[in-house]
Amino acid sequence: MIHPEVLELLNAQMNKEFYSWYLYLSVSTYFNSQDLEGFEQWTNAQAQEELMHGMKIYNYILERKGSVDFRDIHKPSMTWASPVEAVSAIYEHERSLSQTIHQILKVAREHADYSAEVFLHWFITEQLEEEVMADRVLQKLKMVGDNSGALLMLDSQITQIAAAASARAAQNA
Ligand code: MG
């Protein structure tokens, strides 16, 4: 049986991943309203990935014969003052997701749960990729500043930047 402490943390992480889905979708909605289709597409694709992360944990809990516990999904902000503010929120949330994944791994090790440890390795690699990507976009947005021409250029390149980042991460996986 899965240790209750590990199970509790996995249920909490599942909820957090579902919240990420909401957060990315909220940001995607914002980019839609700004007519920034590249950013909209990037964040929409990320939202789908976050949903998949939540489902991955859901399936793992069932596989381990644990009890799935659904909790309220926190409502994300629906108003963003700027692309920098929106992507900063994503970056901070990705960092927080990484921290809790590391915490689950620590607890899994304490309980000698090697199966959970192997399961979590995938998330650790994935989180690094997502942190790097969010940070890269954030830094570029900061460089763009108030230059709308530069923002439009970045918008047209963003999906390629995302594809290049995930291709590099795939080589490390
Ligand atoms: Mg995730």
Give the domain CATH number at 69.
Answer: 1.20.1260.10
- Ligand 1 center to 78 CA (angstroms): 20
- Ligand 1 center to 148 CA (angstroms): 30
**Are the beta carbons of 63 and 118 closer than 8 angstroms?**
no
How far is Cα 33 from Cα 36, in angstroms, rounded to an integer? 8
Q: Which residue has the tokens 């915490």?
A: 103
What residue numbers bound the domain in which 34 lies? 4-172
- Ligand 1 center to 140 CA (angstroms): 22
Instruction: Among 4-13, 111-120, 152-161, name the one with the lowest average pLDDT.
Output: 152-161
Of all residues in the chain, what percent carry a pLDDT higher than 90? 90
- Ligand 1 center to 146 CA (angstroms): 30
- Ligand 1 center to 43 CA (angstroms): 12
How far is Cα 53 from Cα 138, in angstroms, rounded to an integer? 23
- The pLDDT of residue 25: 98
- The predicted-structure confidence for 67-77, as pLDDT tens digits, reads as follows 999 999 999 99
Provide the domain count of the chain. 1
- The predicted-structure confidence for 47-96, as pLDDT tens digits, reads as follows 999 999 999 999 999 999 999 999 999 999 999 999 999 999 999 999 99
- Ligand 1 center to 55 CA (angstroms): 10
- Ligand 1 center to 92 CA (angstroms): 13
- The pLDDT of residue 27: 98
- Ligand 1 center to 147 CA (angstroms): 31
- Ligand 1 center to 125 CA (angstroms): 11
- Ligand 1 center to 4 CA (angstroms): 22
Instruction: Flag whether pLDDT at 127 surpasses 70.
Output: yes
Could you tell me if residue 145 is left (phi over 0), alpha (psi between -120 and 50 degrees) or otherwise beta?
left
- The pLDDT of residue 173: 63
- Ligand 1 center to 53 CA (angstroms): 5
- Ligand 1 center to 103 CA (angstroms): 15
